[in-house]
């Protein structure tokens, strides 16, 4: 009986120790809105940065359905190139360096590019010519990115050109 209690106590201590961690950084009050104390100015409107018609035209589709909206917005489109998946993200406290590091960690091919004179990156998965993403600095703070993924084995436009065009449209509308 005593052995069970000692084992149970030891297991509880190991479990508690295994779940604890130290978090680096500076504590902020719950009302803190981000770097510099700014509020998230575009909360719940990021998915409207480019209209559905512009997305449809850019990727060469006929029909569009928005699948999810939030910090990451998703659309499914259908056209002569089959099904196209488009993803948009906008991180008001993100950086292009962090986005590059995340893509490189995923072993994507990352190249420097520009969108309306702003530093940007283009990312592609290895051996995947059907999808591409472009991320750029937002007009005020943070970063945004577009990812376009066409159906494999179906003739389609260049996904990198489509992602770059969507990024261009985003900067035009966010000024």
Q: Tens digit of pLDDT for each residue in 43-54?
A: 556 788 899 999
Residue 95 CB coordination number (10 Å): 13
Residue 67 CB coordination number (10 Å): 12
What element of type H or E holds 102?
helix 96-105
Cα–Cα distance for residue pair 57/162, rounded to 1 Å: 10
For residue range 59-92, what is the model confidence (pLDDT) as tens digits?
Answer: 999 999 988 777 789 999 999 989 999 999 988 8
- The answer to whether the beta carbons of residues 142 and 118 sit under 8 Å apart is no
Spatial CB neighbours of 158, under 8 Å, sequence gap ≥ 6: 132
């Amino acid at each position: 009986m005593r052995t069970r209690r000692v084992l149970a106590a030891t297991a509880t201590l190991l479990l508690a120790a295994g779940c604890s961690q130290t978090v680096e950084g500076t504590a902020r009050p719950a009302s803190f809105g981000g770097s510099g104390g700014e509020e998230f100015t575009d909360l719940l409107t990021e998915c409207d940065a480019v209209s559905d018609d512009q997305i449809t035209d850019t990727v060469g589709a006929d029909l569009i359905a928005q699948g999810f909206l939030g910090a990451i917005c998703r659309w499914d489109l259908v056209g002569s190139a089959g099904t196209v998946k488009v993803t948009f993200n906008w991180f008001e406290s993100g950086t292009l360096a962090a986005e590059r590091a995340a893509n490189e960690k995923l072993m994507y091919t990352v190249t420097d590019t520009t969108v309306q004179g702003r530093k940007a990156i283009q990312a592609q998965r290895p051996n995947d010519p059907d999808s591409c993403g472009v991320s750029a600095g937002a007009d005020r703070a943070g970063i945004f990115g577009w990812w376009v993924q066409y159906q494999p084995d179906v003739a389609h436009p260049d996904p990198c050109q489509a992602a770059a065009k969507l990024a261009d449209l985003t900067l035009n509308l966010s000024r």
